[in-house]
Amino acid sequence: MGRSPGGRVAGKIALVTGAANGLGRAIALRLAEEGATLVLVDIDAAGLAETGRQLEAAGAGSNRPPLVVNADVTEEAPVKALFKQTFDTHGRLDILVNDVGGGTSGHIWEATLGDWDRIIKLNLRSAFLCTREAAAHMKERRSGCIINLSSGAREGTPWTAYYIGNSAYSAAKAGIHGLTRGVALELAEYGVRVNAVAPGPIETERTGPGFRKIEQLEYGPIRATPMRRIGVPQDIANAVLYLASDEAQYITGTTLPVAGGR
């Protein structure tokens, strides 16, 4: 397979949720760099504007300008409106990246029902709602791919368990793996691929200070990672780009760990 001249996802329409910060922003920038036209979605309007500014500054600009949508992807009505706006603007969607997620719940013996429900909703309901809209459309077109953000936490994170406790998040990210497998099998015969990336500890504005603090404790993320470093957002963006590109055309239903050997 030759390298596509306009980039590895040239001409594709890519929707990235959580694009206002952290990994979502890095993923959006990387996909744009390789020729995709972006739909940027987040609840953080100021962060979205900053991502838009960085896209412009990067000159990711033989592509069409991004469609910027300020929406809560954990709720059904805004998600339906988001996909309608995407189809009205671009006529189709080729790549969906379900990046929205996160949250801490505290040790299991003190976590409230509210903590549990909030984290399942943020990580799993958001992915379900966006995947359902994209799947109906991609199945019809017999083309497209979906990439979910799972986490090393899908198997438990020792340092987080030691420090704060986060089993709802682990459960949600294991759920993302199951969702990825299940939807991949449903859509395989339609030529639609569904995969996940499972980041290890990745330095972002939100996570960096916490990782350094935990490193002082017995189970720090750097010592617990065989490659002995925290990852950078580009590590995740590159993995998402690969899974979104035609280079991964025979890959579906996988969760790819990008975690320095963990």
Ligand X SMILES: NC(=O)c1ccc[n+]([C@@H]2O[C@H](COP(=O)([O-])OP(=O)(O)OC[C@H]3O[C@@H](n4cnc5c(N)ncnc54)[C@H](O)[C@@H]3O)[C@@H](O)[C@H]2O)c1
Two structure tokens written together for 104: 């801490």
Closest approach of ligand X to the CB of residue 158, in Å = 14
Closest approach of ligand X to the CB of residue 179, in Å = 13
Q: Which of 169, 190, 219, 250 is catalytic?
A: 169
Which one of 9, 13, 15, 22 is in contact with ligand X (CB under 6 A)? Answer: 22
Number of residues that bind ligand X (CB under 6 A): 27
Q: List the interface residues with ligand X, window 209-248 (CB under 6 A).
A: none
Closest approach of ligand X to the CB of residue 106, in Å = 17
**Contact region with ligand X (CB under 6 A), list: 17-25, 61-69, 111-119, 249-257:** 17-25
The DSSP code sequence of 98-151 is E---------TTT--HHHHHHHHIIIIIHHHHHHHHHHHHHHHHT--EEEEE--
47 residue type, one letter = G
Q: List the interface residues with ligand X, window 74-133 (CB under 6 A).
A: 74, 99-102, 122
Annotated catalytic residue 169: yes
199 in contact with ligand X (CB under 6 A): yes
**φ and ψ of 107, to 5 deg:** -60, 145
**Contact region with ligand X (CB under 6 A), list: 39-47, 55-63, 138-146, 181-189:** 39-47
Closest approach of ligand X to the CB of residue 161, in Å = 15
Buried b (16+ CB within 10 A) or exposed e, 188-203: eeeebbbbbbbbbbbb
Which one of 7, 24, 52, 220 is in contact with ligand X (CB under 6 A)? Answer: 24
From edge to edge, which strands make up the β-sheet containing 145-149?
67-70, 37-42, 13-17, 95-98, 145-149, 193-199, 255-258
Neighbours of 221 (CB within 10 A): 26
In the complex with ligand X, the residue whose CB is nearer, 7 or 86, is 86
Q: Do the Cβ atoms of 70 and 97 come closer than 8 Å?
A: no
Alpha-carbon distance of 95 to 92, in angstroms, equals 10
Which one of 43, 174, 222, 251 is in contact with ligand X (CB under 6 A)? Answer: 43
In the complex with ligand X, the residue whose CB is nearer, 35 or 47, is 47
Using CB under 6 A, list all residues that contact ligand X: 17-18, 20-24, 42-44, 47, 72-74, 99-102, 122, 149, 151, 199, 201-202, 204, 206-207
**Residues noted as catalytic:** 169
